[in-house]
Amino acid sequence: MASALPSLASVTWRRRLWLGGAASAFSAWSRPLSAGPARIEVVYPRMPERPVEAYPFKLLQAALEASGRPHVLRLTEGELPSMRAYRELTRGHFNVMDTGAAPGMTEGARVLPFPLDLGLSGHRLMLVRRDSLPRLRAVRTLAELRTLRFGQGPDWVDGYILRAARLQVVEAEFLALFRMLEAGRFDALPLGADEAEMLLARFQPLAPSVVVLPDWYLRYRFARVFVVRENQPEVFDALQEGLARLFADGRAQAILARDPRLGPLLAGRRRLPPRVFDIPNPQWSAVYQAIPEALFFKAP
């Protein structure tokens, strides 16, 4: 017996059902997939004393990767002198930089509490003229230190620390410091143990007679840190997550151990000078006290 033909109403209903289902399927297929995390843009300044081959930029790259967040990292087009860099950060010309830990850095920016150099920037080696070595090697007391003149950049917190210890400070822009030391305008240029030899090698043509003093150094609580412009929470959070992971699993320390200047110090293959003058850092504020003590360098 032949089956009955479907009624017109039945055909119309089934057609509508199919078209509706197809339309729903097409609508679901054509809707954009839910967006993942937005890509963050990180802009880092070019500065004469902070070359991109140095460890801070490498830690910045590694922290962004460790955060797992989509990102792009680029450099500013032109170089900035250090005395302008922080002002340009707060004005929005870039959004992250590494700098010496100073209370003023909390104005218009947020500090990430990780010592990028393990605090070695507070171990200040002396760049001095070769002809002044006999006189400077004989220094034994704080009173004798106070007869010397120390070169510093005009915006460096180190200048405040030295003055608080009643040491004499001569200020100039970074590159001018090498020329002035060569010309005898001051006696010593203190630079962090993480950077002194690298910067001397880089700028030796400006100061051909300058060497590292092998006998003594200054030490105070200090560190290089990343600061992020205040209105950049995504960048801050990404770096906070990334740096926490790097320091927790040892990747940060491994990056520093591969650095040609820090590595020998961390491994004990290169020693700091035998005599040390400890001076306080009255600028070491609560925000920097949040840096875990375990992350600071301990001499082997």
Q: Establish if 79 belongs to a structural domain.
A: yes
Q: Establish if 187 belongs to a structural domain.
A: yes
What tokens appear for 113 in the block? 């509490």
Average pLDDT (80-104) is 83
Residues 134 and 207 reside in one and the same domain: yes
Residues 111 and 139 reside in one and the same domain: no
Provide the pLDDT for residue 104.
73
Q: Establish if 20 belongs to a structural domain.
A: no
Residues 59 and 128 reside in one and the same domain: no
Provide DSSP, 136-176. Answer: HHT--SHHHHTTSEEEE-TT-HHHHHHHHTT-EEEE--HHH
Instruction: Please give the backbone phi and psi of residue 256, each rounded to the nearest 5 degrees, phi first.
Output: -70, -35
Tens-place pLDDT, residues 213-252: 999 999 999 999 999 999 999 999 999 999 999 999 999 9
35 pLDDT tier (thresholds 50, 70, 90): low
Q: Establish if 285 belongs to a structural domain.
A: no
Q: Establish if 111 belongs to a structural domain.
A: yes
Q: Report the alpha-carbon distance of residue 112 to residue 243 in Å, rounded.
A: 9
CATH of the domain at 200: 3.40.190.10
Q: Report the alpha-carbon distance of residue 74 to residue 141 in Å, rounded.
A: 47
Q: Report the alpha-carbon distance of residue 212 to residue 91 in Å, rounded.
A: 37
Taking every pair of Cα atoms in the chain, the longest distance, rounded to a whole number of angstroms, is 122
**Domains of the chain: total:** 2
Tens-place pLDDT, residues 169-195: 999 998 999 999 999 999 999 999 988
Which of 219, 243, 275 lies at the terminal end of a domain, its last residue? 219
Provide the sign of the torsion angle of the four alpha carbons 280, 283, 289, 291, taken in this order. negative
Average pLDDT (243-270) is 93
Residues 78 and 212 reside in one and the same domain: no
Tens-place pLDDT, residues 135-169: 999 999 999 999 999 999 987 889 999 999 999 99
Provide DSSP, 58-85. Answer: HHHHHHHHHHT--EEEEEEEEE--HHHH
Residues 97 and 236 reside in one and the same domain: yes
Residues 114 and 228 reside in one and the same domain: yes
Residues 110 and 250 reside in one and the same domain: yes
The yes-or-no verdict on residue 2 having pLDDT over 60 is no
Which of 198, 219, 240 lies at the terminal end of a domain, its last residue? 219
Q: Domain residues for 166? A: 121-219
Provide the pLDDT for residue 285.
82
Q: Establish if 22 belongs to a structural domain.
A: no
Provide the sign of the torsion angle of the four alpha carbons 146, 152, 158, 160, taken in this order. positive
Residues 113 and 46 reside in one and the same domain: yes
Residues 81 and 202 reside in one and the same domain: no
19 pLDDT tier (thresholds 50, 70, 90): very low
Q: Establish if 143 belongs to a structural domain.
A: yes
Residues 131 and 210 reside in one and the same domain: yes
pTM listed for this prediction: 0.77
Q: Report the alpha-carbon distance of residue 12 to residue 6 in Å, rounded.
A: 10
Residues 66 and 104 reside in one and the same domain: yes
All residues at 6 or more sequence positions from 65 whose CB lies less than 8 Å from its CB, including other chains: 242
Q: Establish if 298 belongs to a structural domain.
A: no
Residues 241 and 196 reside in one and the same domain: no
